[in-house]
Structure 1
Amino acid sequence: MRSKVLGLVPFLMMALACEPSGSQPRDPSSSTSTGPSDSGAPSSDPMASNSPTTPTAPVPPPAADAVAKLAGGTNAFGFDLYQRLRKTPGNLVMSPASMTTALSMTWGGAKGETAAQMKKVLHLEGTPDDVMKTSGQLAQSLQDPSRPITFRIANQLFGEKAYTFEQPFMDKTKAAYGAPLELMDFKNAPEPARVHINAWVEKQTEKRIKDLIPGGAIKPDTRLVLVNAIYFLGDWATPFEKERTRPAAFFTTAKDKKDVPMMNAIGSYKGVAKDGLKVLELPYKGDSMSMLFVLPDKVDGLDAVEKSLDAKKLAELGKALTSQQSSVSLPKFEVAPPSIALAGELQGLGMQDAFSRTKADFTGIANPSKIEERLFISEVFHKAFVKVDEKGTEAAAATAVIMAERGAAAPIEPAFVFKADHPFLFFIRDNASGLILFMGRVADPSKA
């Protein structure tokens, strides 16, 4: 069986509190303004950038304790945010790893209470330099070319050509994340800039994430857009036979059902049944990554599972998995919800000052002499695509931060039966670190 998980795009937008008429950038000293372009067009071709550069040889991961802290914090933040997003009915998908990367880059330039709130909400431990270093090294190791999967991470900064940025911040993001700065003309051509950035995202996600930034989101007061894109393609270690896929009932509620293509297999898989739910792990080739499925026993039991499940409990369930002869039935599905605005959700989690025109302190990114020209986050958008079929999984994700001024049947009876014929959760994770790359909900496999 191959599942395809495609395209997750969190998008973070930071905008200027207000921009006085005729304002000019201050003269750079310790800061940098990287040469405006007279044409008003971007200073370079974003398609030429695939950052950080995919390693050509295996890169060792960071120290185990540092990875554990980063993965644990990322997963905890993912579940915190999911608790707020799950109230929206229907299918859902998000990437804790992509969102944490983009927001961590932004946190690297935050100061004071703004930085403290972001650190708490993101469950980060250590200094910004420590987190950025660990995150960058982990990203490189996850892209190990020797693995029989495809996993790519790209980061890019798009900055207003007439605005001055702090050189230390630019240096840190480039060193840790491989995120170069491309100059844009947000002031005079915001819509062409939006189209340009969306094209970069579409390129990095193999055309799976389109129109990440919605119309009108880039404005003349936009000063910086930070983008993270993730793409994953992996085949199951044991593919499911297409001949065994057949129509079967899927209960969207206790009373409502519809026929969907159901994939079927019998073999040795890791699973566990406890506390009113079942968990199944399907590994990808090479066993470096896997997909977990969490299925409540009751057809209408997903809400209760979502309420109680967190990063710690998921980790405990993962440790309880045991290999056993199993019968697996899993629907083919595609999840492609529209972009979700996250500013309100992040503020609800406690990240308030970052979105305040009067309180935000991102002077580590840009420190203009006029307070009204300083940065704050105006919005965060998130978009994803997931597709599961018989062969494996394909996944893509992107995060943008916009800143502006202010097989054959077994001969024995299966001991474990996993029949996903009603709503369930899924998680794609790196097995070594436990980092959750993608997570989501399938409420109706017949709908995107």
Structure 2
Amino acid sequence: MTIRRLAPLVASLLGVGAAHCNSNPPPESQTPSTAQPPPSSEPVAVTPTPAPSASAMPPASDTSASSGASGSISAEITTRFAHDSNLFGFDLYQRVRTQKGNIVVSPASITTALTMAWAGAKGDTADQMRKVLHLEGTPQEVLQSAGKLSSALQEPTRPIKFRIANRLFGEKTYKFESPFLESTKAAFGAPLEAVDFIKAPEPTRVRINAWVEEQTEKRIKDLIPAGTIKPDSRLVLVNALYFLGDWQTPFDKEKTKPSPFHVNATTKKDVSTMRREDRLRFVQQDGLKALEIGYKGGQMSMLFVLPDKVDGVEALEKSLDNGKIADLVSALKPQTVNVEVPKFEINPSASLALGDRLQEMGMTLAFNRRTADFTGIANPPSPDDKLYISQVFHKAFVKVDEKGTEAAAASAVVMMRATAMPMPEKVAQFHADHPFLFFIRDNATGMILFNGRVADPSAK
């Protein structure tokens, strides 16, 4: 029996590595559910038309965010998807952090790619995905929230470059449900591109990777590893993010000098370290220090979290969740800070395979060829042709220097058939001379776009 695979692929311009996941848990019973509405029209066959030219997510008429000249996000609905994404992101990071060395991931990219797949899931499969992704509200509300947030984050008046691009790559002979295609295009700006998985799986893989590379300014390469796209692949859902932002106040390059960085309690290396003294939002509490440095325009920032102990980053990672980060951000106060932060670049050569981790989190039915229910995406007459998720890949990149930050991410889901100035105060010290964590955040919604660990700034 050949069941078509729906392979999710996730790539991010922050950095992560790769592994394979071929496990299929035993089938589980399914019970009827109303998590997704049934399709309201006939399925449509993919025709081999040219690829759509519009790639970045446009503000659709019913999903555009209302934001002022400052690009702020005020509507409550735009924050809901950000909150859900953060909850899922911390759950997933607890499984990714076991990887040694530098890490970078984009929870926003992974959530978006999986939410597109969830939009076509039904029954227990949809229920499991909703629980793991922490999605709240009806499918229509979730998609509306995601669409409004994406449009707001790309507000053209913001003095940073932030691009979100989504696309569906579908087998040209396979029939997809038109309501699914319409909803993903309206909410995520994700057009369907017809490809030939059956006769040309490898050229199709190369084509998808080239699209990701183009959307991420060539920062995310080879998102989908060789050999992972098969003749029975039927759909790949891809999200790509690109971020380029200058610091509100850049670091002076002349002050950047080599300084020792303690990789662990016994080893240190000289690394290129940026220096400045400025009034920034800072807090020291509970065995850690946190510092926020804003990007131009003030809508986004990078949060640095540094444990007091040289070897304290593992314990810090274990203790953090979305609520603790929110509390930490609330505790930040403007203060004069003497800052020393290393320049760093995280650019992994391989993608990270997330299938095993997602199943450990409870998303088992979607990866099981016998129990997956994605009939909202395609509902073929033969059960041998139904879709399931074969793998989810993620890759990210981040680079921090005196001018600012460049970051990118891509995600793919592959489916196969089967304030006021205070009184004078003491200057605070924030010297990141040992492993620390970082978070690139949207300040209005708190959405974490990229986050990771710097264990060794000299390693790329």
**Inter-partner Cα distance in structure 2 for 1:446 and 1:6:** 19
What SS does the corresponding residue of 2:270 show, helix, strand or coil? Answer: strand
2:80 to 60, 69, 72: 69
Aligned residues: 418
The ranges of structure 1 where at least 4 consecutive aligned residues each deviate by more than 6 angstroms after the TM superposition are: none
2:27 equivalent in structure 1: none
CA gap of 1:172–1:257, structure 2 versus 1, over 3 A, is same
Query: Is residue 33 from structure 1 mapped to residue 45 from structure 2 by the alignment?
Result: yes
CA distance in 2, matches of 1:7, 1:422: 20
**Match for residue 26 of structure 1?**
none
Change (3 A) 1:227 1:14: farther
Is contact 2:21–2:355 with CA below 8 Å preserved after alignment? no
Name the TM-score, length of structure 2 as normaliser: 0.87
Q: Tell me the equivalent position of 2:7.
A: none
CA RMSD of aligned residues (A): 2.2
Q: 1:9 to 1:229 in 2, by over 3 A?
A: farther
Q: Distance in 1 between matches of 2:341 and 2:215?
A: 29
The 3-state SS of whatever aligns with 1:282 is: strand
- 1:156 matches 2:174: no
| Residue equivalent to 2:54 | 49
TM-score by length of 1: 0.90
Structure 2 contact 87–134 (Cα < 8 Å) conserved: yes
The C-alpha deviation readout for 1:240-292, integer Å capped at 9, x for no partner, is 00000000000000110000000000010111000000000000011000000
Instruction: Give the drift of 1:127.
Output: 1.4
Q: 2:442 — aligned with what?
A: 430
Shift of 1:91: 0.5
Deviation at 1:220, TM superposition (A): 0.3
1: CA distance, partners of 2:13 / 2:187:
25
In structure 2, the residue matched to 1:60 is 66
Say whether the 8 Å CA contact 2:374–2:388 is kept in structure 1.
yes
CA distances 1:119-157 after superposition (whole Å, capped 9, x unpaired): 000011011221111101110111111111111111111
Q: Which residue of 2 aligns with 1:123?
A: 134
How far apart, in 2, do the equivalents of 1:332 and 1:249 lie?
A: 13
Could you tell me which of 319, 322, 325 is aligned with 2:333? 322
Match of 2:199 in 1: 188
**1:396-430 CA distances to partner (integer Å, 9 max, x unpaired)?**
11111211101xxxxx8852110000000000000
Residue identity in the other structure for 2:66: P
Is 1:10–1:400's contact at 8 Å kept on the other side of the alignment? no
Partner of 2:270: 259
Q: Which amino acid aligns with 1:353?
A: L
- Whichever residue aligns with residue 144 of structure 1, its letter is E
- SS of the aligned residue for 1:312 comes to helix
Residue 270 of structure 1 aligns to a residue in which SS?
Answer: strand
In 1, distance between residues paired with 2:259 and 2:203?
47
Aligned to 1:221: 232
SS in 1 for 2:93: helix
CA separation in 2, counterparts of 1:146 and 1:49? 20
Cα deviation for residue 352 of structure 1 reads 0.4
The match for 2:8 is none
Match in the other structure for 1:362 = 374
Q: How does 1:240-319 map to 2 (within 5 A)?
A: 240-319=251-330
SS state of the match for residue 187, structure 2? helix
CA contact (8 A) 1:14 1:404 kept: no
Distance 1:125 1:320, change over 3 A: same
Alpha-carbon distance between aligned partners in 1 of 2:272 and 2:56, rounded to the nearest angstrom: 38
- What CA distance in whole angstroms lies between the structure 2 residues aligned with 1:98 and 1:299? 31
Deviation at 1:69, TM superposition (A): 2.4
Offset at 1:65?
Answer: 2.8
Aligned twin of 2:401:
389
* Distance across 1 between alignment mates of 2:43 and 2:398: 41
Separation in 1 of the partners of 2:415 and 2:369? 12
SS at 2:401 equivalent: strand
Contact kept? 1:340, 1:383, Cα under 8 Å? yes
Q: What's the CA shift for 1:67?
A: 2.7
Decide whether aligned partners of structure 1 residues 85 and 153 sit closer, same or farther in structure 2, where only a CA change above 3 A counts: same
Gaps of 5+ in 2: 1-11, 25-40, 68-72, 419-423
Distance 1:192 1:164, change over 3 A: same
CA distance in 2, matches of 1:362, 1:347: 17
1:284-313 CA-partner distances (Å, limit 9, x unpaired): 011000000000000001111011111100
Q: Deviations 1:355-385 (Å, cap 9, x if unpaired)?
A: 0011100000000011111000001111111
Equivalent position SS for 1:390: coil
**Identical-residue share of aligned pairs (%):** 59
Given the superposition, is the C-alpha separation of residues 14 and 177 from structure 1 closer, same or farther in structure 2, using an over 3 Å criterion? farther
Give the structure 2 partner of residue 343 of structure 1.
355
- Whether the 8 Å contact between 2:13 and 2:241 is mirrored in structure 1 is no
The aligned residue for residue 38 of structure 2 is: none
Cα pair distance change 1:63/1:248, threshold 3 Å: closer
Aligned partners of 1:236 and 1:136: how far apart in 2?
A: 27
Aligned mates of 1:10, 1:141 — CA distance in 2: 30
- Counterparts of 2:76 and 2:388, CA distance in 1: 33
Q: Give the match's secondary structure for 1:292.
A: strand
SS of the residue 1:132 aligns to: helix
| 1:206 equivalent among 217, 226, 239 | 217
Q: Which residue of 1 aligns with 2:242?
A: 231
Q: Runs of 5+ in structure 1 lacking a partner?
A: 18-28, 38-42, 407-411
The 3-state SS of whatever aligns with 1:231 is strand
Partner AA of 2:443 in structure 1: N
Equivalents in 2 of 1:304, 1:9: separation in Å?
A: 21
Contact 2:239-2:411 at 8 Å conserved across structures = yes
CA drift at 1:7: 4.5
- Structure 2 Cα separation of the partners of residues 364 and 186 of structure 1: 21
Could you say if the C-alpha distance between residues 207 and 363 of structure 1 is closer, same or farther in structure 2, counting changes exceeding 3 Å? same
**1:34: Cα distance to partner?**
2.6
